[in-house]
Structure 1
Amino acid sequence: MKPMVKKLAVLLTATGLVASLAACGKADETGTASSAASTTGASAKPAAKPTDISITTLAFAAAPTGELEAVKQLNEKLNVNLKLNWIPAAQITEKLNALLASRDLPDVLFLEDFNYTPAFLNAVDQGAFWDLSPYIKNYPNLAKYPDNVYKNASVKGKLYTLPRVRPLDGHESMLIRKDWLDKLGLQQPKTMDELATVLEAFASKDPDGNGKADTYGAVLPGANGPSSTVLSMFGTGTKWKDENGSLIPYWYTPQTKDALAFWNKSYKAGGILPDFPVLKAAQIKDMLVQSKAGVAFANVVDAYKYNVELQKVNPQANLIAVEIPKAPDGKLYYEQASGYYGQFLINKKSVDEAKLKKILEVYDYTATVDGYNLATYGIKDVDFTVKADGSVEQTEEGKKKGYSGDTTGQWVTGYFDKYSRAKIAGMPNEIYQANVKVIDTISSIPDPTYGLMKSAPYKEKGADWDKKVNDMMVNVIVGKNSLEDWDKLVKQFKDDTAFQQHIKETNDFYKEKAK
């Protein structure tokens, strides 16, 4: 799925929203499952009248016109009347502001992040949305989501949303030109020392054989600071590091200084593209496809996608995904993703417990492969086909009707597939199996701050703090500043009372969630 085009921003005061949404009677929250719930989520004895369910979400493409046959089938199967409303991603801020101002929210509402819509968090505190914690276990397909997905999506130890599930791993791997390794008689680097050797060789030994000194080791984006992977692979932690139950910023750690020293040395040896300070993440593909660099850190599946482009110019090119190298302490460090993109809240004002259970039945069914494909792509063999490799291809007929993952798939949470970042339509099976092995080697470290609100000091000064840290990191790597300068900056933050208050509030949120 594409990242959200625009962060949500809600200007409505929490007081008005809470007053409206919380004005509902107390409902039974015991979590007792409906006896009609089955492994598919369909009701054995549907009510005579279908349950109306209104759902508002975002769309990255044009919304379908007219009623979709897939929705009709879902309605009949689950005895519901789905009323789907797609908001264009570019307009979602404006539309949600209007929706919230009207105080007439749908039964189910998409939310990207509580940090960007704090009024929703205030409403949660006042009981405006259902706590789903007691219910999920009664819906077998939703219950299959990894525990960490729900943990990361929870707020203050409770689950007020259905997360739109994504893999926890596969977003980090090392992409490397296997043909360059072979030409230079090198092996896949498994340690940082071996990585340094490979990066320098890619820069100095003409791996593309064109007789020109026009190649470098790695393409690293630095326009917004170094990517977290190139630091966390040294064992810095993920954004924050838990030390004996308390959080410290990852860049406080000695491992961060080790990482900066490593990349500074590599930069001097040509192991990093010299444009590093201004390169953006979107340019990684271009630099690899143009054979400017032979190493990058990106999604596992990106190696195959970029190699397809590479081979149009150089049929012998072979860009593959492999494990990232071990840190100096001999361990592998991967950052765990949140496991979701966006969340759905269920409005307690318009939804009683019986309707809540019906909504969860719907989402339980769309958390299966068949249910997800129906909701997203339409009718099998009419609107989409399933290839031998299991990938889905939308037919021209389906496209004409408006089915697409960018739109019709945005109202469902989906099913969990550990390997979805390992595959893409048309990928040869041997490459897919190699990618699976890469993901199977990963034992990732969760970010302890998922689900935590930003502290008050960070909301005021965070952008400035982040820029100072990121700028110094980039300058140390390219040699404009020294490691001593880095130490001085860290000390400045440790002496800054506002930053220390930020750390305290973040730890307070962390302890509250742990309860």
Structure 2
Amino acid sequence: MNESKKRRIGSMLMVGVLLMSAVLSGCSSNGGHKPADSNTTRAKLEIKNGKYDPPVTITYLRPWGPDVKFKPGEDQDSNVHTKWAKEKLGIELKNQWVSPSTNNAFETKLRLSLASNADMPDIISYRGEFNLVRELIESGKFVEAGELFDQYAGETWKKAINEDPSVWYPYMQDGKRIGIPILDYAYNGDPVMWIREDWMKKFSLKAPKTLDDLETIMEAFANRDPDGNGKKDTYGLTIGFKNWLNTWMSDAGWVFGAYGTMPNQWNLTKDGKLEYGSVTPEAKQALGRIRDWMSKGYLPEEAGVYDETKAAEEFTAGKAGIVVGPHWMPSWPLEDVKKNNPEAEYKAYPIPAGPDGKAGRHGTSNANGVILINKDMKNPEAFFMYQNYLFDHYANPETNGEFEYGFAEGYDWVMVDGKPTADAGLAGGYAPEKYTLTFDGARIPSLNMAALTSRKEPTTPFEKKVRSGVSEPMLEAAQIVMNQKDIVFNQMFTGAPTMTMQMNNDILAKMEKDTFSQIIYGKSPLDSFDSFVEKWKSSGGDQITKEVNEWYQSVKGGK
């Protein structure tokens, strides 16, 4: 997950629009808007039968990932989604150019366009490298979108974004909201503990409520031959900290959480200030615990060179009995557990507590990406009509509505024997929502977990879709996530690198990783942590802390 950053930018121009509130009546929740600046020299758009007539064109750019596939004869500019947008809304969608997301091809081409001062499209939707977002904002080519959002966004969309207004923070400058965050499902990456249940049964082990309980389990998994092959070739817990200790899967951030902090991120203290979690006394305690586990053989020796996926493979291959990661892991990669051993079982457990009864896990942002609107876009209200419609009708579809079973029949759902099914093998496995300007159509953050954890029989199309085919382990894991929602440590600094970060962050990050790795592997004493903290503070850390808190106070005052 890329950490959101913030940098000073120049002032932005506001696109005015001469349009009465009724012009967006084609969107069910768009009533009550006031006319925009009457000094605008643009033609008024006409709406007939709920769509623009004549049609309006929106040019855009977005990366196209390898997960997006089209039917024969369709492509990025001509497909079931573009046809729907024109027929339903009178909006023609046109890529300014098409580039894949792999190998930084999209980023490279977009940076070349910026460097040559090429015209930008009406809309850029992007999720990925945050530095590129800042470069786009600093180009001065994009409008302050917050005012447009206030004016044209429908109530469904506004309520969704207001579930956590801090999603605006990465794109704010002096209280202004430059980019519109693309919403994702809440808690989607918050971790639970996955344990080999057949190994637990073999040794009659109980659920781990504390780190001490967990050590009892890890000792059995590492030393008592849980797979029965007569070899000492299994581990208690698999983690991978090549990319750091607090990551999206196979992480060890929860060990720090058990002591009351979270490494490699900025946490909110009781006095309302931000502190860097890797330099706290609690971080030292957690490092000591992980160091002890490594010395006892509870962790893979290769943990320091494993990334998140490689570490998880130790679990799916039957080499490790515990892995920590999101509730959706049964869909991937844990489906390989049964493929490798049909007799294997796994189950989700809550994150265990530390010596003082504390438990903690990293949190997940409600946003995943940003929308930037060109300051020269002639009719920005057209984009809001498009997105409002998706929020009002696709995000939580109506029974008997056009999206009741999916986006489009023959793509993400199909009728079989008179009944609709979203089975990918039958429907073809196409996902038209991935063709949309915002990658997923529209998502209301709280909706997904609410559907997964509801004790009632699913009744709405969304609930039925979410619950259909979901394994029992995933449902149990989702419930655990919500039961432990109060233990979350959210990343509180989501701005661009501060001035001192730009100069010193690489040095500080290397110092941190080297010190932590040396301690975990027993090559340096635990007390070397203290000298690391002193050096971190004197090498720019104290100044960064000051700048981070100044940023935090500045965004808290904005929307």
Tell me which interval the TM-score lies in, with the shorter structure as reference length: 0.7 to 0.9
Shift of 1:119: 2.9
Match of 1:503 in 2: 545
Shift of 1:514: 0.9
State how far apart, in whole Å, the 2-side matches of 1:137 and 1:272 are. 50
Match of 1:199 in 2: 218
| 1:177–1:318 contact (8 Å) kept in structure 2 | yes
Give yes or no for the alignment of 1:315 onto 2:375.
no
Match of 2:473 in 1: 431
Match of 2:409 in 1: 380
State how far apart, in whole Å, the 2-side matches of 1:289 and 1:127 are. 47
Task: Evaluate the alpha carbon distance shift between residue 30 and residue 285 of structure 1 in structure 2; reply closer, same or farther with a 3 A threshold.
Answer: farther
State how far apart, in whole Å, the 2-side matches of 1:40 and 1:183 are. 59
Shift of 1:397: 7.7
State how far apart, in whole Å, the 2-side matches of 1:183 and 1:43 are. 69
Match of 1:331 in 2: 358
Give yes or no for the alignment of 1:219 onto 2:233.
no
Q: Deviations over 1:36-68 (max 9, x none)?
A: 530599986444322222221111136743622
Task: Evaluate the alpha carbon distance shift between residue 182 and residue 33 of structure 1 in structure 2; reply closer, same or farther with a 3 A threshold.
Answer: farther
Match of 1:489 in 2: 532
Match of 1:87 in 2: 99
Normalised by the length of structure 2, the TM-score is 0.77
State how far apart, in whole Å, the 2-side matches of 1:474 and 1:421 are. 38
1:15-414 to 2 correspondences below 5 Å = 26-27=16-17, 34-39=24-29, 45-61=50-66, 64-65=74-75, 67-84=78-95, 86-90=98-102, 91-100=105-114, 101-112=116-127, 114-123=130-139, 127=143, 129=145, 131-135=147-151, 138-141=154-157, 143-145=159-161, 146-148=163-165, 150-151=167-168, 154-156=171-173, 157-171=175-189, 172-227=191-246, 228-237=253-262, 239-243=265-269, 244-303=271-330, 305-352=332-379, 354-355=381-382, 357-365=384-392, 367-369=394-396, 379-381=408-410, 384-385=413-414, 392-394=422-424, 411-414=439-442
| 1:323–1:438 contact (8 Å) kept in structure 2 | yes
Secondary structure in 2 matching 1:512: helix
Secondary structure in 1 matching 2:156: coil
Q: Deviations over 1:406-431 (max 9, x none)?
A: 65685455223433999999855433
Shift of 1:256: 0.8
| 2:433–2:440 contact (8 Å) kept in structure 1 | no
Give yes or no for the alignment of 1:513 onto 2:555.
yes
Q: Which amino acid aligns with 2:219?
A: E
Shift of 1:217: 0.6
Match of 2:522 in 1: 479
Q: Deviations over 1:81-132 (max 9, x none)?
A: 2224543113112221243334421121023355434333335698455545
Identity over aligned pairs, percent: 21
| 1:336–1:445 contact (8 Å) kept in structure 2 | yes
Q: Which amino acid aligns with 2:514?
A: D
| 2:145–2:373 contact (8 Å) kept in structure 1 | yes
Match of 2:459 in 1: none
Q: Deviations over 1:457-477 (max 9, x none)?
A: 212221221121122112212
Task: Evaluate the alpha carbon distance shift between residue 509 and residue 31 of structure 1 in structure 2; reply closer, same or farther with a 3 A threshold.
Answer: farther
Q: Deviations over 1:16-42 (max 9, x none)?
A: xx8xxx567655899999455305999
State how far apart, in whole Å, the 2-side matches of 1:492 and 1:389 are. 66
Shift of 1:170: 4.1
Aligned pair count reads 500
| 2:238–2:312 contact (8 Å) kept in structure 1 | no
| 1:58–1:87 contact (8 Å) kept in structure 2 | yes
Task: Evaluate the alpha carbon distance shift between residue 210 and residue 27 of structure 1 in structure 2; reply closer, same or farther with a 3 A threshold.
Answer: same
Task: Evaluate the alpha carbon distance shift between residue 207 and residue 405 of structure 1 in structure 2; reply closer, same or farther with a 3 A threshold.
Answer: farther
Deviates more, 1:72-81 or 1:427-436: 427-436
State how far apart, in whole Å, the 1-side matches of 2:419 and 2:535 are. 55
Task: Evaluate the alpha carbon distance shift between residue 433 and residue 398 of structure 1 in structure 2; reply closer, same or farther with a 3 A threshold.
Answer: closer
Q: Which amino acid aligns with 1:234?
A: Y
Q: Deviations over 1:166-199 (max 9, x none)?
A: 2231421111111111111111211111112211
State how far apart, in whole Å, the 1-side matches of 2:48 and 2:167 are. 25
Task: Evaluate the alpha carbon distance shift between residue 264 and residue 8 of structure 1 in structure 2; reply closer, same or farther with a 3 A threshold.
Answer: closer
Secondary structure in 2 matching 1:440: helix
State how far apart, in whole Å, the 1-side matches of 2:483 and 2:322 are. 19
- Give the CA RMSD over aligned residues: 4.1
Task: Evaluate the alpha carbon distance shift between residue 282 and residue 300 of structure 1 in structure 2; reply closer, same or farther with a 3 A threshold.
Answer: same
| 2:62–2:437 contact (8 Å) kept in structure 1 | no
Deviates more, 1:26-35 or 1:54-63: 26-35
| Gap regions ≥5 residues in structure 2 | 32-46, 247-252, 454-464
State how far apart, in whole Å, the 1-side matches of 2:27 and 2:181 are. 21
Match of 1:449 in 2: 492
Task: Evaluate the alpha carbon distance shift between residue 283 and residue 492 of structure 1 in structure 2; reply closer, same or farther with a 3 A threshold.
Answer: same
Task: Evaluate the alpha carbon distance shift between residue 37 and residue 289 of structure 1 in structure 2; reply closer, same or farther with a 3 A threshold.
Answer: closer
Match of 2:37 in 1: none
Normalised by the length of structure 1, the TM-score is 0.83
| 2:234–2:320 contact (8 Å) kept in structure 1 | yes
State how far apart, in whole Å, the 1-side matches of 2:421 and 2:304 are. 38
Task: Evaluate the alpha carbon distance shift between residue 346 and residue 301 of structure 1 in structure 2; reply closer, same or farther with a 3 A threshold.
Answer: same
Task: Evaluate the alpha carbon distance shift between residue 271 and residue 359 of structure 1 in structure 2; reply closer, same or farther with a 3 A threshold.
Answer: same
Secondary structure in 2 matching 1:343: strand
Task: Evaluate the alpha carbon distance shift between residue 434 and residue 215 of structure 1 in structure 2; reply closer, same or farther with a 3 A threshold.
Answer: same
Shift of 1:160: 3.2
